[in-house]
Amino acid sequence: MEVIKRNNIKIVGKGEKVMIFVHGFGCDQNMWRYIFPRFIEDYKIVLYDHVGAGNSELTAFDYQKYNTLEGYAADLLEICQELEIYDAVLVGHSVGAMIGVLSAIAQPERFSKLILITPSPCYLNQNDYYGGFDFSTIEGMLQHMKLDYADWSGIYASFIMGNPDNPSLAEELAYSFCHTNAAIAQHFARVTFLSDNRKDLNKLKTKSLILQCSNDAIAPEEVGEYMQKHLANTTLVKLKATGHCPNLSAPLETIAAMENFLF
């Protein structure tokens, strides 16, 4: 299947250098609408949907291929090959950030800089590592998704988004969840929340920026500090923004941090 159709690729912008945006779980490329317009004068912007999200081709979803995050990284690298992308700036949110990390490890020539927004290499608490969740909590969440996906969408959208003073943000995320194929979303959630890519961090050589929020229930501050410690060439910026999705809740602060890193 044609890669452009498979991942619903959209290209805008006037620059020669590429900036590619990788969305997180339960979202699609629309989640970047407050961020990418700032960069269209300086970059060629590449937006896409993971298979199973947004307006991607659902028939391209393969449970075996996407049983690890490497399957999603393979898609990203196929996009880069199709569009002849090299030395791009990659902007990844949440699990999209880790998909970007895995892609840059596999083919470092494709990316010159990574901007990692609220990333986590491992969501499970293990020994002296604090990822934010114990196994029973994640299993309970996955069972909730399976039993009542619509109810899960409303509850977890608020949990993930934070910012209770602005409920429209959680409503938008819940809407996005509900417009994702439920079976695929459940599979992607299991792959995401049970992944452990901590051992991959020291393989990354690409210069990177980590944007960390406070009161992030998905990627707590300890995770950002862990990543800073284990990535060789990275800068950690703690935003004033709260919650897990500053690309929606605090786009101006997010853009400012990106600009400081890029220009």
Instruction: Please tell me the pTM assigned to this model.
Output: 0.95
Is the model's pLDDT at 103 over the cut of 90? yes
Indicate whether 1 pLDDT > 70: no
- Residue in 24, 25, 35, 28 with CA at minimum distance from that of residue 9: 28
Mean pLDDT of the chain: 94
Which 3 state secondary structure label does DSSP give 93? strand
- Whether 178 shows a pLDDT value over 70: the answer reads no
Instruction: Look at residue 160 and tell me whether its pLDDT is greater than 90.
Output: no
Q: Catalytic pick from 28, 49, 75, 216?
A: 216
User: Per-residue pLDDT averaged across 103-126, rounded?
Assistant: 98
Let me know the angle formed at the C-alpha of 254 by 250 and 259, rounded to the nearest 5 degrees. 150
| pLDDT beyond 90 at 237 | yes
Contact at 8 Å (CB) between 79 and 72?
A: no
Q: Among the options 50, 93, 187, 244, which is catalytic?
A: 244
Considering the chain, what percentage of its residues have pLDDT values greater than 70? 99
- Domain 3-133+197-262 falls in which CATH fold? Rossmann fold (3.40.50)
pLDDT of residue 34: 96
Report helix, strand or coil for 90: strand
- Active-site residue flag, 216: yes
| The predicted structure's pLDDT at residue 16 | 92
Q: Which one from 94, 103, 153, 195 is the annotated catalytic residue?
A: 94
For 165, phi and psi rounded to 5 degrees?
A: -75, -10
Mean pLDDT computed over 112-118: 98
36, with CB counted inside 10 A (0-12, 13-18, 19+), is buried
